[in-house]
Chains A and B, each alone.
Chain A
Amino acid sequence: MLPDLLIALTMLSNFSLVATSRVSKAIQFAVLQGVLLGLMPLAMGLGRHFHIVLLAVAAVTVKGWLIPFLFRRALKQVHIQREVDPYIGYTVSLMLCALGTGLSLLLAHNLPLKPGTEYVLMVPASLATLFTGFLLLVSRRKALTQVVGYLVLENGIYLFGLLLVEDMPALVEAGILLDLFVGIFVMGIVINHIRVAFDSTDTRHLAELKD
């Protein structure tokens, strides 16, 4: 019951992310989504496994505190315009997001699941979150909002990993750790690329986040 609620909230926050026009709102929704997903393992009743609790705590700490902290610092130190400034309009983005969600529901319907899996919504939600992340990455102009997109993408991957968390705990944990690690590194590289390619002021602001 509780997990389904969390998953539904996650999917709803996807739509909010796509539709919002404010940078700070987008960040807040991404953080909210991260925290919701961080709580998922506890909601799934896996509190008896110590390492899963540790994982949840780590995820909530990183996504609920560390990342927003970095975002806020970057926002405060530089005067970023409040608008998200997308390539695609908000309505179109919303429709694309809805399309992606529908497609992932369709796809998840056709994917063979492990027999006895309770949470049938998990796979479509994770795929939808993946698509949303990609959409944000592709359609948003500012580098900061692209990092938000990356965060959402990562949330989708995390949600998918939760399916297997009981069977292959070590692997999933390693995957999550690697994800964060790679995320920080790749964003550093991406920001460098953006700096070289666009030579715009926004990227300089982003360099703050890298520290």
Chain B
Amino acid sequence: MLDVALVLASSGCWFAGALLSAFSRPPERLATGLGLLGSLLALGASIHLLLGGPTSWVVFQAWGLPARLEVDALSAAFLLPLHLVGGLGLIYGRRYWPAQLPWGSGRSLRFFYGLLVAAMTLLFLARHGLVFLVAWELMAVSAFFLVGTDHEKPEVRRASWVYLACTHTGTLLLTAMVILMAQRMGGLQWTVLPVSTSPWFEGGILLLALVGFGFKAGVLPLHFWLPSAHASAPSHVSAILSAVMLKTGIYGILRVSCLLPAIPRGVGGTLLALGALTAVYGVGNALAQRDYKRLLAYSSIENLGIILMGVGLGWTGRATHDPWLMALGFGGALFHIWNHSLFKSLLFYGAGAILHATGTRDMEALGGLGRRMPRTALLVFPAVLAVTALPPFNAFLSEWFLYRGLFTSLAHGYPWSAALGLVALALAGGLAAVAFARFFGTLFLGSPRSEAAEHAHDPAGSMLLPMAVLAGLCLAVGLGAFLLLPLLDRAVAVLAPGTPALLARGLQGDLRLLAGLELVFLLLVAAGLAWLRRPEAVAAASGPQDLPTWGCGYAVPVPRAQYTGSSFADAWAPVQPGLRARRPHLRGLFPGGASFRQAFKEPVGEVFLEPRVARVAERLLRFRRFQQGHLPVYLLYVLLTLLGTFLWMLLRERLLG
């Protein structure tokens, strides 16, 4: 009772803050304070619940029937990143997107940001089909307005419309799913189905959930809205979209699946394979991006793929009654959700700081930011290591869970999907390392490639503070993961009843050992750094340098002679499906001028879907004829419809007998 009241109060705080921000003279301090209070309340409640508090719920009357709001460990596991990132984003956004901007974009941004967090909070509580759909739509629509904040740019408008079309297609499927579930459960209230009665029916629910929630989660063929939407949104919005809103898709899949009596064995393996494909595809495209926010968005697709692999692994375990596999799969997925929300929002905040300082999203126009924005560089670095799953940072551990799960699965004899998953996970990790080496190297190292990068500077403290918190958490989770195991166990227990504290028992020792090793490693790195920075070495480096006689012009390089990010990533061209390059053919001994062009097109959205959609739209132009512009004609349509309805009512009995 207490926890759900706290979470509801938190949702109310965010909503009130949003309403306050909509005023023509918003009391910004009060609105921010309310949002932060809401975050603290929800964080307190979810931590209390994950530490062992009982599941708490309220039942209220909706449309004359009881509707249930409940917070259990699974909800708490999703509320935790939501309110962490939501609250930090509120602090970050104050300077990043000031409220006093013209055309009111600052106000609408704050309003819909608050609404988004409030709606997602409600979403995680809902155990009633209609309440769930209402919260889902509130979330989707406020995200639409957030993506379109900068709406005087045509590409931003386009991105937000594509997002809206996709999310509504998803909602359509989810509505069908809710109706099917209401049929099966005898009411809109969600209850656990104890025994399977009709496999087709439940299969339909599961399929609709996978596709409908898959749109939100960016599963492979349904991801095409995601990169441009995340690139177009303001950076702290991209952070919350990527860190939490994509995860609501995963939440939905998990929530619906734990209401169903059984998951067929093949579904887990298929989902694992799909996740593997998504991961490799996402990271391959991330490698091809020039726009650093798009790169981060594709990396989100990769990470969602990894999370899906965990879910698929858990479902395999559930179908084969293997508690250890369930614990590793679901635990790995949930842990990766936490980790991804930490490092991805940190990366987006960093990207926002760069965008704020330079005004461009083109990596090839930047460079050398490490010297000009040293604090940003220092804070982004942990996130770069985390996203490439390197120790001692957090994502290493969640991927390690998955590796263990996949090996366990191999050992238990469900080989094909697990083998594919292993290869994909390893490949995705390696390619992510390349992509983020490009990201960090092109942005922060080298020397500036444009005027904009030349004069960049660190952002204000209120933007650095959230980044510092997240960077600290990335490292802390990486080192102190053994403390989090009981919390994960609680959340896994919701998904897989009958696996009490398996993770804490099975992995405690390993994680302690790892943490110890990582500490030693960190100490070694610190010692190495200290040795490199010792006074005589620094003095030697800054003194006059001898240049070789036959340096061939490489001795004092100019910025134009640097490797570009694209040339760095060119070696991995085969895994970048969307990249199209036009290479010049040089002939003869003295070829004339030539140019090299490279462009990226989203393989599913722009290459496959766009021409087909355009063709359908052209066919639909035929119906333009009905739009005459004369009011009486429109009224005639209404009259004819009315007459038709009446005639149908008259003749129905005779026609149908």
Contact = CB atoms under 8 A, between A and B. Distances in A.
A119 interface: no
B638 A193 contact: no
A107 interface: yes
B630 A110 contact: no
Given A146-B631, A197-B629, A138 B649 contact: no
Nearest to A106: B650
A193 B631 contact: yes
Contact of B635 (A130, A137, A141): A137
A190 interface: yes
Contact of A138 (B629, B639, B646): B639
Contacts of B635: 134, 137-138
Contacts of B642: 130, 134
Nearest to A190: B631
Nearest to A141: B632
A110 B649 CA distance: 9
A103 B639 contact: no
Nearest to B633: A138
A103 B632 CA distance: 22
A202 B636 CA distance: 21
A24 interface: no
Given A134-B639, A138-B636, A138-B639, A103 B631 contact: no
B649 to A, nearest CB: 7
A107 B649 contact: yes
A112 to B, nearest CB: 11
A140 B631 CA distance: 11
Instruction: Determine which residue in B632, B635, B650 has the highest number of CB atoms from chain A within 10 A of its CB, and name it.
Output: B635
B649 A87 contact: no
Contacts of A87: 632
Contacts of B643: 103
Contacts, number: 36
Q: Name B's interface SS.
A: helix
A197 B650 contact: no
Contact of B631 (A106, A107, A197): A197
A139 B643 CA distance: 16
A137 B636 CA distance: 8
- What interface size band does chain A fall in? 20 to 34
Interface residues of B, number: 13
Interface in B630-656: 630-632, 635-636, 638-639, 642-643, 646, 649-650
Interface string A63-81: 0000000000000000000
Contacts of B639: 131, 134-135, 137-138
Interface in A122-143: 127, 130-131, 134-135, 137-141
A194 interface: yes
Contact of B646 (A103, A137, A141, A146): A103
A197 B636 contact: no
Nearest to B629: A197
A135 B642 CA distance: 12
Contacts of B650: 106-107, 110
Given A134-B639, A138-B636, A107 B646 contact: yes
Contacts of A146: 631-632
Nearest to B636: A138
Interchain residue pairs A-B with the least CB separation, the first 5: A134-B639, A137-B635, A138-B636, A138-B632, A138-B635
10 contacts: A110-B649, A111-B649, A134-B639, A134-B642, A137-B635, A138-B632, A138-B635, A146-B632, A193-B631, A197-B629
Given A107-B649, A141-B632, 18 more contacts: A103-B643, A103-B646, A106-B650, A107-B650, A110-B650, A130-B642, A134-B635, A134-B642, A135-B639, A138-B632, A138-B635, A138-B636, A139-B632, A140-B632, A146-B631, A146-B632, A190-B631, A194-B631
